[in-house]
Structure 1
Amino acid sequence: MKKQVDTIVGKAAILIIDVTKGSLLPPDKTPIPIFDAQTAVNNIKEVVDVARTVDIPIIFFQELHRREMVDFGRELDGVEDVHCLEGSEDVEFIDYLKPMDGEFSIGKRRYSCFFATDLNILLKGLKVETLIICGFLTDVCVHYTSADAHQHDYYVRIMHDCVRGSSPEAHQASLNAIKYLQTASETNSKEIIGLLEKMTVKA
């Protein structure tokens, strides 16, 4: 029987993927509806509030596309319509959940937080081994980021109550696929908060 590894191995960082104002728009006002997004955002906020009291890096991500639409590539070949244009309110961080001094923010043109960004350089500089992942969409950016994290040899931990997908079915299928790669990937906000509370409090 395979041995289950610890929830956090070595130093951890929290990745908050595409949690922006557009995430909370009603279905008739966004090209990318997310089911039950507000619940996930509330849970993420609770984790972040505790994380800010201890020594753990927090990295926020925004999917951003130029208004000239020259960097979408094949992204509009699927179900999604034009989205996440630079300068639009949709891509702004939520007022109560945005980077503070000492935290990190990375824009990305593609689904994976690793693709054509400096995330891996940042993580190596921070000496991070475990990525605690939350945000949207489970079946798109969270999934692709987790797969790339796995291939870069990071431990992946997904807070299941802090991610949501394009549908409950797609959400669950992606969580299953990530767990296939790393059997210890499943966690939740309550478990992570408990672990954070045991860490050294910032001076």
Structure 2
Amino acid sequence: MRAYVYNQPRELDPAQFADYLDLSRTAVLSIDMHRGHLDDSPDCPCPAPRARDVVAPIDAFHDEVRALGGRIVHVKSVVREGGADDIGGIPSAWRRTFPLHVGPIPNADAHAIEGSPWTEWVTRVEPGDLKVENKRRLSAFYPTDLDFLLRNQRIETVVLDGGFTDCCVLNTAFDANNRNYRVIVLQDLVRGTDEPLEQAALAMVSLHLGLVMTSADLLAVWRQRALNPSSKTLS
């Protein structure tokens, strides 16, 4: 079984991580793959252009997960119309700090407003998928009902895809770990602010929070377990 430790590929003994690899106790969390990040319009309120190239691969991975009987939870940022829990109250810190790096974001106040086109999904959501649509800050767990949903489904492992690797994915990975979920982050299906921050976030996950794998490697393990569920010597 291959994983990435400090961004270097390593062959691991799958028996050592058997509890991470039980698809029946796993949910894929797909984070913030909506128009507010992915639209190519100049009005996009919080653009994440590096994530546009993983839309089709994420959809393809989700199809494979569904075919294996796995569960998918789509999570997106939505704040109340009028901004009572953001720009109309105490604004999210990124609204002040991120422009110090990227420059002014002309339509930032429109980001994630409830009922706006910017909250529409870009990746495909199928019947049977689950949704969490009230992420107000950086973590998918805060202040949403995601933890309740996962525990009610008897989920023990979360697999993360989406964006930003160094922001919402990393925050979600920390929160999941602190809640005692097992964490897998898909190296090929997350995108960060830039390459250095993406690699730094993945390195932190690999050292402190869980496994970093590619979607192909994880699917291969799941398929092998499905063929031979009693095997303890998966490769």
| Residue of structure 2 in register with 1:138 after alignment | 165
Structure 1 gap ranges (5+):
none
Task: Report the Cα offset of residue 200 of structure 1.
Answer: 5.4
CA distance in 2, matches of 1:133, 1:24: 18
What residue number does 2:119 align with?
A: 91
Deviation per CA, 1:59-102, whole angstroms, max 9, x where unpaired? 001101123112123412321632111122121012x512x222
Distance 1:29 1:170, change over 3 A: farther
Amino acid at match of 2:136: R
Q: In the alignment, is residue 163 of structure 1 matched against residue 182 of structure 2?
A: no
- Give yes or no for contact 2:183–2:211 (8 Å, CA) kept in 1: yes
The amino acid of 2:214's aligned partner reads N
Alignment of 1:54-133 (within 5 A): 54-72=68-86, 73-75=90-92, 76-79=95-98, 81-82=108-109, 83-94=111-122, 97-98=124-125, 100-107=126-133, 108-133=135-160
**Greater share of helix residues, 1 or 2?**
2
Structure 2, unpaired ranges of 5+: 1-11, 100-107, 228-235
2:32 equivalent to 1:18:
yes
1:185 aligns with 2:226: no
Q: Report the RMSD for the aligned CA atoms in angstroms.
A: 2.4
Q: Which amino acid aligns with 1:5?
A: F
Q: Which of the pair has more CA radius of gyration?
A: 2
Q: TM-score, normalised by structure 1?
A: 0.86
Superimposed CA distance per residue, residues 136-186 of structure 1 (whole angstroms, 9 cap, x where no aligned partner): 11111111100000001111100011111122222222112222213x511
Q: How many residues end up aligned between the 2 structures?
A: 197
* Structure 1 segments of 4+ aligned residues over 4 angstroms from their partners: 198-201
User: What does the per-residue CA deviation read over 1:5-25, in whole Å, with 9 as the maximum and x for residues that have no partner?
Assistant: 245157111000011123322
- 2:41, 2:165 → 1: CA distance? 17
Percent identity for Structure 1 against Structure 2: 27
**Structure-2 separation of matches of 1:168 and 1:27:** 23
Q: Is the 8 A contact 2:30 2:74 kept in 1?
A: yes
Instruction: Give 3-state SS (helix, strand or coil) of 1:97's partner.
Output: coil
Shift of 1:35: 4.2
